[in-house]
Amino acid sequence: MSKHTIIWLHGLGASGDDFVSLPDALKLPPEMDMRFVFPNAPMMPVTLNQGYTMRAWFDVYGLSAESKIDVAGILRSCDFINQLVDTEIARGVPSHRILLGGFSQGAAMALVAGLTFKKQLGGVIALSGFLPMAREVFETASAVNRSAPIFLAHGKADSVVVYTLGEMTYEALLKAGYSVSWHAYESMPHTVSDKEILDISQWMKNLLG
């Protein structure tokens, strides 16, 4: 049994395999004993991509703050992520040693699931994403996760999930009283950078070490 678990959620059209190099890249100390779980989103037609079927945590209608939100899809994926967390708890990992992380659409799901999960989690890592259904999430947020630390990061050169959405998410979380470590990367597009990996690693060591 591992001491800690992180469940990492991939982006739209990707798969869990996209981040299998993450454990080595983070270079976490062995005593942290971190188990990584890389689930796959279901295959579904995505409206934004002309109905093309791909792995997605929820349907996407647009990439602006005003775009329609697939509430049913988000809630379905939230239930799935909750089950993954419950599986880790059943394996013997206490909930407060379980983290949720993700990139892009996976970051959106990590935030929604992390803020609403009914048991205390260790924290949330959200890269190049946003918080969908922010008002509904804050209204149904779990009191025990009000203090859950959040690592939030975004590239200023992101043309997919624009930087403004990340900044709006940061401001909304701060206003709602969450503890957020905010990282903006000057020339980073919609990707994960080496500097970002170093910052995540340091944040995790400070949090869990």
Active-site residues, by number, are 104, 158, 190
- Beta bridge pairs of residue 154: 184
Q: Which residue has the tokens 């929604």?
A: 112
What single-letter amino acid sits at 188? M
3-class DSSP state for residue 39? coil
3-class DSSP state for residue 77? helix
Query: CA triplet 16, 105, 195: central angle to 5 degrees?
Result: 75
Tell me the C-alpha distance between 209 and 112, whole Å.
26
Q: Is the sign of the CA dihedral 185, 187, 192, 193 positive or negative?
A: negative
